[in-house]
Amino acid sequence: SFTPRVFSGIKPSGGLTLGNYLGAIKRFVGMQGGEFETVYCVVDMHAITVWQDPTELATATREVAAGYMAAGLDPTKSILFNQSQVSAHAELGWIFNCVARVGWMNRMTQFKDKAGSNAEKVSLGLYAYPSLMAADILLYHATHVPVGEDQKQHVELTRDIAAKFNHDFKVDFFPETEPVIEGPATRVMNLRDGTKKMSKSGESDMERINMLDDADKIAKKFKKAKTDPESLPETLDGLKDRPEARNLVDIYSALNDSTPEAVIAEYAGAGWGQFKPTLADLAVAKLAPISEEMQRLMNDPTEIDRILANGAEKARGIANPILKDTYDIVGF
Ligand code: ADP
Ligand code: NA
């Protein structure tokens, strides 16, 4: 049986959003210090599957690390590092490229969304991304992976790769990793279109709340958020075909460690003119201390780099023996 171990990561491909905070970082913090060993990565090798300016990549890497720590991840309790510093990720990624099937990759909906009608022009790395993600997870024999809903299919693929590897080589070496997708904020939506996920790399800054946005920006963005003209309903059922309204209620409940039901119970009948400013105040109250701490940490990039280097050393301590065993199994 496998050590209970959590692995997850975030791409340094732009500024962190409220979706990353509620759907990932806050939940990473929740799993720290309990029954699991926790390993959290800044997945810079995933970021370069689309073009990244080198200077901005370095800054974004430090921003994700700062976001982790400011939100409560503690480098003495969790392993915090960036992917490119542990070469075993790339090495196991190659082996998994030879285990995964092209047909499996062709079914990945995120690739189809990102490539769109441009599939001939995107990088080969973007296509192989889920195979590298499987390597990230399985290199630590991670048993649990907290992610947002958009990553569910990739964790399922990770399980398929582990199962095929175990089957082909007649071993019981890689675990069947469980995705952990829980709580009201596993899919925070964009503020202008309630059917699209809030994302770092969305079209317009008004669509998303950034973790580093100041109070005025947060208030302005929620004020302009798309909603329908109806007020908040008496029960959660009343939000069924109202994705924009449901999104704001979900965000409120996730920020407040509450449930959508409780939010509806409190605000039934309220109009948006009342609810939106209350939501903005709550978001500012929760995010301001984190963004202040992020800014403070980012003023000392050398210290962030030192912490990440330290984390990489610890990560290698787990990853290298697992890679070595994998090489033995493969016949290298
Ligand atoms: P992005 O899509 O913003 O570039 P990443 O691909 O780096 O984010 O994802 C990092 C983590 O944040 C993943 O676990 C992902 O599921 C989660 N995540 C990203 N966006 C959201 C969102 N809008 N709601 C909930 N979780 C999200
Ligand atoms: Na994503």
How do the domains of the chain map onto residue ranges?
A: 5-180+300-330, 205-295
Counting ligands in written order, which one lies closest to the CA of residue 201? 1
Q: What ipTM score was computed for the predicted complex, to two decimals?
A: 0.96
Report the top-level CATH class of 5-180+300-330. alpha beta
For residue 156, give the 3-state DSSP assignment. helix
Half-sphere exposure of residue 288: CA atoms within 13 angstroms, side-chain side: 12
Closest C-alpha residue for ligand 1 atom 4: 200
Q: Is residue 24 in contact with ligand 1, taking CB distance under 6 Å? A: yes
Task: Specify the length of the chain in residues.
Answer: 332
Q: Is residue 83 in contact with ligand 1, taking CB distance under 6 Å? A: no
Report the alpha-carbon distance of residue 324 to residue 42 in Å, rounded.
Answer: 23
Counting ligands in written order, which one lies closest to the CA of residue 188? 1
Q: Is residue 10 in contact with ligand 1, taking CB distance under 6 Å? A: yes
Q: Is residue 199 in contact with ligand 1, taking CB distance under 6 Å? A: yes
Q: Are strands 78-82 and 144-146 parallel, antiparallel or unpaired?
A: unpaired
Report the alpha-carbon distance of residue 329 to residue 332 in Å, rounded.
Answer: 8
- Backbone dihedral angles phi then psi of residue 60, each to the nearest 5 degrees: -65, -35
Residue type, 1: S
In tens digits, the chain (332 residues) has pLDDT values of: 899 999 999 999 999 999 999 999 999 999 999 999 999 999 999 999 999 999 999 999 999 999 999 999 999 999 999 999 999 999 999 999 999 999 999 999 999 988 888 889 999 999 999 999 999 999 999 999 999 999 999 999 999 999 999 999 999 999 999 999 999 999 999 999 888 999 998 778 999 999 999 999 999 999 999 999 999 999 999 999 999 999 999 999 999 999 999 999 999 999 999 999 999 999 999 999 999 999 999 999 999 999 999 999 999 999 999 999 999 999 99
Whole-model pTM?
A: 0.97
* CB-based contact 254:183 (threshold 8 Å): yes
Closest C-alpha residue for ligand 1 atom 16: 148
Residue 314 among known ligand-binding residues: no
Write down the CATH number for the domain with range 205-295.
1.10.240.10
